[in-house]
Structure 1
């Protein structure tokens, strides 16, 4: 248990260090404690609406709490929906006191609905590409049970975005594979109107695992 707690602290401090460095270099006027950091973004599409979950981490508060009490509420998921990604995002922002920082997004999780609706899929890509803070090297995954994933994620030791990109601990030796990056989604869709095969997230025995997705 002590080893797990140490690993949790290390993960939080590592991400925090990267964020502090970026804020310093960018000379941004928004204080660290006034930011909400999205480490993962999950998106699906049902009945004409985008369903969006931000896997957020208030790292400034987490480290302060850890120093004071030895315990950390490491992550939270906030869901919103809208007929466009912009509407869903604005609804999320209206529920938050802090500024949303997408500059440290690590993982994008897509549901079956968004992948099967070409118009909605392109709308998502356009939305992400229009945000300079969203890096093109974000890792992308498929999950057919995102709502279950959100519930299971609360039981994990580290935030979902960090967990999914910490290879190969969340994979068996037989399922190690190269990640698919957001830039690959841009390239295939805008040039060929195609989608890449994505690593699939599954919930097995209340644990999050990643598997290869069969080629289309």
Structure 2
């Protein structure tokens, strides 16, 4: 009996000593992601949204005084762009922690590790980049068909569509490139899809209520 008790005690002690080692062996190491792709996606995201803040409204003027294209910068564009950025912050701070969708290389065994302090679904980077594209698209369509009677200016295509489209493409590429990537493909796509919808609604509504010309005065900046 004494021998049996000693054997059982030794077995229990061995299990107790080995269990932590097994748990540690199963823990995922911190993901070694590409800093270059992270920087690319962040810079592209900023360029996309910045293009919507700095891009002027182009409109066709056929008054008795002047006829031709005119450009006006509107301070009021900060309203829809700040709305989109606030929505992105809400996604980052509230929505993503609630969904708890782990980024590549992260899991339940290494929460809080370097590179695993945030979640991935929906991607905030792609939300911002594609919301800028949506904002430009909505504004371009309203300006073209409501305020410019179907006239299209190449500058509007470049500034409201071309540049944010390029920035959105670089942003999503930067999020899914590399091994491990910054985010899973579905996390990036869902963020981009929601951003595009929010952007079109914000940009379209803003363009409907704010005419491209200044409501008063003849300056190029409308306050």
TM range (shorter): under 0.3
- Larger % of helix: which? 2
Q: Which has the higher contact order (CA 8 A, sep 6+)?
A: 2
Query: Which has the greater radius of gyration?
Result: 2
- Larger % of strand: which? 1
